[in-house]
Structure 1
Amino acid sequence: MPLNLLKLCVGCDSVEDLEEWIAFRLDERRRAGEPAEHWHTTRMMPTRGDEVTDGGSLYWVIKGSVQCRQLITEIRPFTDDDGIGRCHLMLDPEVVRTDWQPRRAFQGWRYLKPADAPADLGKGKAGLVEMPPKLRRELADLGLL
């Protein structure tokens, strides 16, 4: 059974911000002649990495709510220039929007069981994706999303 990770998306105010940042980084890599791969760097190596890479996703908390996820395709450990062990969570660049799920701030990442993960937005909720981010935020703050 796949296991997910949960992480704060620091610096992004919306899913659109995250998508734009991913597109920018992929374009940068293409222009530099590097593989167009997308990853997130973290210090802690998941001890349950086999479960995470068996179909797990990285669920992003944006402005206090889980709002989207990205499939984790691989975990690549490495040592940085300061001799500190880290890992790249290799991510599918496609961002999948999810139902909003409130989350308090935390440091690092957390495991997220599939039963506790928010559902992907279905076709019946496609209008939420088209809604301006500010309006979605206001509705979420009122508990209407």
Structure 2
Amino acid sequence: MDKCVNLVKLSVGTESVESLMAWQEMRRRELPEGLPRHVTRMWPKREAEILNGGSIYWVIKGLIQCRQRVLRMDEVIGEDGIRRCAIILEPELHRTLTAPKRPFQGWRYLKTEDSPADLPAGKSQEEPLPLELSQALAEIGVI
């Protein structure tokens, strides 16, 4: 049986989990199935492991803050004729414990044991900590 692996991706230009949700909701109206997607030029070589329960973890303002489960990967051909991978995601964003992540390009694999845990039920509805405080606490390993 294949093991599970996740992806981690910077959400460029996103200010908060709420702004990522709003952007995805706006884009979903333009898509045939209404499912959020992230299109990337590189096809993950570890596709089977990702599709075995993996998620994409979103880095917002230097912190992993949420994740979305990966449903499947579809081939899309751009107007330039280049084959790309559309990573199809479940609509729900799951808030996670924050974890600092330095900037990088593209996406990276993220082992399940290195992935931040989801926030406990009910915590996701609480007012988030100010960004600076959350970053400082994550840097010293408190959250």
Q: Same fold (TM over 0.5)?
A: yes
- Partners of 1:27 and 1:84 lie apart in 2 by 25
Residue aligning to 1:139? 133
Give the 3-state SS of the residue equivalent to 1:142 in structure 2: helix
Quick check: 1:122 aligned with 2:120?
Answer: yes
Shift of 1:25: 2.0
Query: Which structure shows the higher helix fraction?
Result: 1
Aligned length: 137
Residue aligning to 1:81? 79
Unaligned runs of 5+ in 1: none
Quick check: 1:67 aligned with 2:69?
Answer: no
Alignment equivalent of 1:50, drawn from 38, 48, 51:
48
Kindly provide the amino acid, as one letter, of the partner of residue 60 in structure 2: I
Residue aligning to 2:21? 19
Is contact 2:58–2:65 with CA below 8 Å preserved after alignment? yes
Kindly provide the amino acid, as one letter, of the partner of residue 17 in structure 1: S
Quote the RMSD (CA, aligned, Å): 1.6
Instruction: Tell me the alpha carbon deviations over residues 36-55 of structure 1, each in whole angstroms, 9 at most, x when there is no partner.
Output: 12111111100110111110
Unaligned runs of 5+ in 2: none
TM-score by length of 2: 0.88
Kindly provide the amino acid, as one letter, of the partner of residue 14 in structure 1: S
TM-score by length of 1: 0.87
- Partners of 2:25 and 2:76 lie apart in 1 by 24
Is contact 2:63–2:135 with CA below 8 Å preserved after alignment? no
- Partners of 2:91 and 2:105 lie apart in 1 by 23
